[in-house]
A and B are shown apart, each in its own frame.
Chain A
C-alpha cells in the first residue's frame, strides 16, 4: 500500500516561534491531503486540508503548503503556543480508492514556554 512519512519524529520550539512540520507522500495520484492534531488522550482533530489543485491554503495561525513536484506537504504554525503541543500527522487520500486515507506516523511537537 501507500506510505506517508514524516521527516522528523520530534520537534521542539520556543513559544512564540513558528513551527514547520513536514510530510512526504509517495503517490502522485493522491489528490486530497489533511493535517491532524492529536493531543494526549484524545482522537485526531482536523486542522486543515488542501486539494491537489492548490499549492497553499491558510487557516487561523496555520498554513499548509503542497509541492506536487517533490510530493511534499508541510504545516506551518505561526506564533506557536503551549496548547499546540501535540502529535501532528498528515493523511493523503488516493482518488482511486474512494475515501480511503493513508496516514503518517506523526511528529511530536513540544512547545517550550
Chain B
C-alpha cells in the first residue's frame, strides 16, 4: 500500500465546476509535488512544494491552484477547466536535500466534460 494517498480516485467535472484534489503523505517527507500524466507523454511537473513553500511552478495555467497547508497535505484546486485538462493527476513526495526517489500516489483520473 502506498504511503501517498490521493482522493478522489476518479473525478468527472464540467468546465464551470470547482473541485479539489487531495493528497496526503505518511512518509515524513519534506517536499510534495503535483504531476500531470497524459497518454503517450512523459510526466509533466506542475508544482513543487518544499518545506511548505512553493518552489516550482512550471507555467501552469491559473485554473490550477495548489495549496500546501503543511508538509503532509497537498491540494490542487480546479476551476474552469478545459477538456484538454483531462488526465491522470499524480501527487508525489520526497526528501529534499538528498538523492531520494519520488514516491507517488495512485493518482486522480480527471475527466473534464
Contacts and interface: CB of A to CB of B under 8 A. Distances in A.
Contact of A44 (B41, B90, B97): B90
A98 B101 CA distance: 12
Contacts of A91: 102
29 contacts: A3-B42, A4-B42, A31-B99, A32-B99, A34-B101, A36-B104, A41-B106, A42-B107, A43-B2, A43-B104, A43-B105, A43-B107, A44-B43, A44-B104, A45-B104, A46-B103, A49-B99, A49-B101, A89-B43, A98-B50, A98-B55, A99-B31, A99-B96, A99-B100, A102-B42, A103-B42, A104-B42, A105-B41, A105-B42
B42 A93 contact: no
Contact of B56 (A45, A46, A100): A100
Contact of A100 (B42, B45, B97): B45
Interface residues of A, number: 25
Contacts of A103: 42-43
Contacts, number: 56
Contacts of A89: 42-43
A86 to B, nearest CB: 13
A51 interface: yes
A32 B43 CA distance: 17
A56 to B, nearest CB: 17
Given A89-B42, A100-B56, 7 more contacts: A43-B107, A46-B101, A49-B101, A89-B43, A99-B48, A99-B50, A103-B43
Contacts of A51: 99
Interface in A1-57: 3-4, 31-32, 34, 36, 41-46, 49, 51
Contacts of B92: 43
Nearest to A98: B96
A41 B41 CA distance: 16
Contacts of A43: 2, 4, 6, 90, 92, 104-107
Nearest to B109: A41
